Amino acid sequence: MWKIPVSSVDVAGLEEEYVVDAIRSTWVSSTGKSVDRFEQEFSEICNTKMTVACANGTTAMHLALLGLKLEPGDEVIVPSMTFIASANAIRYCGAEPVFVDVDPNTWCLDPRAVEAAVTPRTKGIMAVHLMGHPADMDALNRLAAIYGLWVLEDAAEAHFAKYKGRMVGSLGTMGTFSFYGNKIITSGEGGAITLNDPRMESHLKTLRGHGMDPRRRYYFPVTGYNYRLTNVSCAMLCAQLRRRDEIVAQRRKVFAHYQESLRTIPGIRMQPVAPWAEPAPWMFSCLVDPNSYGLSRDELMQGLAAEGIDSRPFFHPLHQLPPYRECAARQKHDLTYTEQLGMNGIMLPTYNTLSSREIESIAATIVRLRARQMRFVA
Ligand SMILES: *Cc1c(COP(=O)(O)O)cnc(C)c1O
């Protein structure tokens, strides 16, 4: 048991009441008022015409890619610095993820690297809004227009983030979200696709529900999937949406407190924020420069763990993981910055109920570990 876990869920508000209502209504499966209400409210918030709720973020991505008719032989450009599900969803369609580097100023897809990776087989770009920071969508949409590609936003970590004042999820061809337990709003497991095309919406809903014809019950014109989300989960999401301003404001306070406390520690570099970005406060992330901090990222994590403080390394770059090593080696793209982030990036405990005292104790531990090491070196 950690004294301070790296993330924690707060469902102590309206969630119980909403979930109990859903249970009492007996609509516990995947139809019901809360599904419709969640889909409508989420679209309103994200400024899209519609939302399709899904079992989780990965099924949302897979379903969106199926809707975009991704097939074997196709390629999709994806950052190597992301959660593995972004690439897995591409592979579920038999297509090939093409791994490119991220921009040091955003930690998201570098548009120049994307352009260099386009081939005649490229069908789309998966714009991951990594660690809550939006990708440079204007640059990516411009490339998409030039080369005839679609852009799918993976906004799993970036709920309610803004790009030039506009909501993520509304900026590409479609957007996908995850409501896993460590995301900003959660239903334990859950996901959603945001979009503006009514024909695509109806196609995705058909695929989501076993491929059943919406006008002819138990007739199946296509091979579908069971990627539905339950009414009970949607009830929890409706409660989380009502509380979203409070949850986001509390997480922003945690971010501000960390920034204030860690700013002056040599060798600790904050997550960059592009001038056009209003990032979502997902996990507080920073980079450890072993030369000036005195300890490596892994040593810092061990030091924190010894004090009962959990933390997380950044994602292993996907091109270094067994399922993708070979295809990335064939692609031969420069992934230098991704590798640096993978080696030096750390996420500190972030959740809306984390107290000021706890943040101060985490920051004090980071200062103390460095001081001890520096004395040792001298
Ligand atoms: C969490 C996450 C997902 C997957 O979401 P699940 O709901 O766990 O399937 C996809 N992409 C990114 C970037 C994520 O962080």
The pLDDT tens digits of the residues spanning 313-349 come to: 999 999 999 999 999 999 999 999 999 999 999 999 9
pLDDT recorded at residue 73: 97
Distance (angstroms) between ligand 1 centre and the Cα of 138 equals 23
Q: Which residues pair with 195 in a beta bridge?
A: 50
Which residue out of 9, 56, 58 has the highest number of ligand 1 atoms within 8 Å of its CB and is therefore the one to mutate?
58
Dist. CA 129 → ligand 1 center (Å):
11
Ligand 1 pocket mutation, candidates 6, 178, 314, criterion most atoms within 8 A of CB? 178
Could you list the beta-strand ranges (E) of the chain.
Answer: 50-54, 75-79, 96-100, 122-128, 150-154, 162-163, 166-167, 174-178, 191-195, 268-270, 277-278, 284-288, 312-313, 345-348
* CA 321 to ligand 1 centroid distance, Å: 17
Alpha-carbon torsion 194, 197, 203, 205, what sign?
positive
* pLDDT value for 273: 98
Tell the residue nearest (CA) to atom 6 of ligand 1.
Answer: 57
Asked if the model's pLDDT at residue 374 lies above 90, the reply is: no
pLDDT band of 203, cuts 50, 70, 90: very high
Distance 141 CA to ligand 1 centre (A): 22
Ligand 1 center to 177 CA (angstroms)? 7
**Contact indicator for 288, 297 with CB cutoff of 8 Å:** yes
In the predicted model, is pLDDT for residue 283 greater than 80?
A: yes
Confidence label for 122 from pLDDT (cuts 50, 70 and 90): very high
Beta carbons within 10 angstroms of residue 210's beta carbon: 15
pLDDT confidence bin for 376, thresholds 50/70/90: confident
Q: What is the average per-residue pLDDT within 252-271?
A: 97
pTM of the model: 0.97
> What structural domains does the chain harbor?
15-242 (3.40.640.10), 244-377 (3.90.1150.10)
Ligand 1 pocket, CB under 6 A: 56-58, 82-83, 85-86, 128, 154, 156-157, 178, 180, 191
Residue 377 has pLDDT above 80, yes or no: no
Residue 221 confidence (pLDDT): 95
| The ligand 1 atom nearest the CA atom of 190 | 7
Distance CA 153, CA 136 (A): 11
% of the chain surpassing 70 pLDDT: 99
Element (H, E) at 242: helix 231-242
Q: What is the mean pLDDT of the chain?
A: 97
Q: Residue 375 has what pLDDT?
A: 81
Rg (CA), the chain: 21
pLDDT of residue 49: 98
Task: Report the percentage of the chain scoring pLDDT > 90.
Answer: 97
Residue to mutate (ligand 1; options 62, 83, 285, 341; most atoms within 8 A of CB): 83
Q: From the alpha carbon of 189, which atom of ligand 1 is closest?
A: 7
Indicate the pLDDT class of residue 378, thresholds 50, 70 and 90: low
Mean pLDDT of 95-106: 98
3-state secondary structure at position 180: coil
| Class of residue 181 by CB neighbours under 10 A (exposed 0-12, middle 13-18, buried 19+) | middle
Atom number of ligand 1 nearest to Cα 56: 7
What spacing in Å lies between the alpha carbon of 368 and ligand 1's midpoint?
A: 34
CA of 172 to the centre of ligand 1 (A): 18
pLDDT at residue 78, rounded to an integer: 98
pLDDT at 32 over 70: yes
Q: What is the mean pLDDT of residues 353-360?
A: 97
| pLDDT at res. 33 | 97
pLDDT given for residue 368 in this prediction = 96
Q: How many angstroms is it from 378 CA to the middle of ligand 1?
A: 44
d(C-alpha 212, C-alpha 139), whole Å: 38
